[in-house]
Amino acid sequence: MQFRRRWSPIALFAIVAAFQASSAFAAMDLKAEAAKLQKAKGQEAVDIANGVIDEQKKIPGPLDKDRFGAAVVAEFEPLIAGHNPDAALNAAIAIAKQHTASTDSALEKMLSNANPAIRYWGAKGVGEIPNLKAVGGEGAALRALNAQLPKETSGLVKKEIIRAIAKLDSITEMVKALDTLAAAMQTTTPDQETLEAASIGLTELDIAIKEAVSKGKPPAPAEILDIAKKVTLLLSFASQQEVALFNARTKDGGALPDGYHANVVAVTNNGIKVLNSLAGMSAFTGVPGDLDPNATLLLLNGVTGAAFGETPGSGQVQKTFPGVTTPPAIKPGK
């Protein structure tokens, strides 16, 4: 028996759309573009990367967008390891701006590149893949982001790593990232971008905790205690390092970099918001921004328990979260 297939108008529309998408997908010779980029310099390299990015925007279907992204990786990823720095950076940007799940592995590899600009685009690209969690790719991405963070030397890249982790929506992973920043601050003076990364992470953590509470799924008591411990350390270390830097600069007749104190205060107050969300009440008071670093630390010590002239462990945090210990003294960074 033979059957005659009948196409409905919807099916015909789908076929036409698929054909159009395939046509768009085939419109650019990516191999040729990669060959040109391999030798390109300056604006020419930028224009080639922008052309690839613009071509992806013309493709209407998500499946073909993903296929195009995979093809871009296949042709352009080898250039990242090449000897032309302009080609390497613009190949990385072209891949990062595909915003497709097919680029995730390439972006994760970029996180460990020797060039901080390429690491930046690796982190930014991973964070901007809209459906990565939906297709189950967030696990590998989070592992790669948190593996790079302790080794990362660029504050700008740290900011993008923190933003990417926040977009993947995990309280546990954000706490791990903030703990990494705190551990570094115990022995190293943070730059402004690292302070901004910490501030961003604390803000995102506070949002995530409030959302979890609103959905009736608050953190468990053990998790609350763990978060309180790590946030307390981060706030104290940031403020202690600022005081050490401020005192050293003042002794030499200098001053803190413009905006540095504001960034430390932002870290402090965003961390206090997290502690209040964990406590379920306004148990902790923010620190005014018009105080000098020493006065800021003195007030903060009353929160964290390292108060001058008082019994260690007698801060507001210890009274609200028994089990949180007094933060230790930092080793001043350079």
Q: What is the DSSP string of 84-105?
A: -HHHHHHHHHHHHTT--GGGHH
- Tell the burial category of 239 from Cβ atoms under 10 Å away from its Cβ (0-12, 13-18, 19+): buried
Determine the pLDDT at residue 311: 60
The tokens for 331 are: 């080793």
Determine the pLDDT at residue 170: 78
Report CA-CA distances (Å) from 268 to 75, 233, 279, 324. 46, 11, 16, 17
| CA atoms of 170 and 139, how far apart (whole Å) | 10
Determine the pLDDT at residue 6: 29
Determine the pLDDT at residue 136: 83
Mapping DSSP onto H, E and C, the string for 208-234 reads: HHHHHHHCCCCCCHHHHHHHHHHHHHH
| CA atoms of 108 and 110, how far apart (whole Å) | 5
Q: How many residues does the chain have?
A: 334
Closest CA to 152 of 187, 120, 105, 186: 120
Over the stretch 80-127, which tens digit does the pLDDT of each residue have?
999 999 999 999 999 999 999 999 999 999 999 999 999 999 999 999
Determine the pLDDT at residue 137: 86
Determine the pLDDT at residue 240: 95
- Tell the burial category of 273 from Cβ atoms under 10 Å away from its Cβ (0-12, 13-18, 19+): buried
Determine the pLDDT at residue 306: 78
| CA atoms of 202 and 231, how far apart (whole Å) | 8
Within 8 A by CB and 6+ apart from 278, the residues are: 209, 219, 224, 227, 228, 321
**CA angle (38, 43, 45) in 5-degree steps:** 20
CB 88 within 8 A of CB 118: yes
Closest CA to 289 of 218, 199, 223: 199
| CA atoms of 33 and 222, how far apart (whole Å) | 54
User: What does pLDDT average to in each consecutive run of 10 residues of the chain (334 residues)?
Assistant: 31 35 62 97 97 94 93 97 97 97 96 97 96 86 95 96 90 95 96 96 96 94 97 96 95 93 97 96 90 93 75 81 92 76
| CA atoms of 234 and 237, how far apart (whole Å) | 5
The tokens for 298 are: 């003195």
Determine the pLDDT at residue 334: 63
**10 Å Cβ neighbour count for 238?**
28
pTM metric for this prediction = 0.85
Over the stretch 214-228, which tens digit does the pLDDT of each residue have?
999 999 999 999 999
**Which residue has tokens 């546990």?**
172
144-151 contacts, C-beta under 8 A, 24 or more apart: 144/108, 144/111, 145/111, 145/173, 145/177, 146/173, 146/176, 146/177, 146/180, 147/111, 148/111, 148/112, 148/119, 148/123, 149/177, 149/180, 149/181, 150/180, 150/183, 150/184
Which sequence spans correspond to the domains of the chain?
170-334
| CA atoms of 250 and 9, how far apart (whole Å) | 77
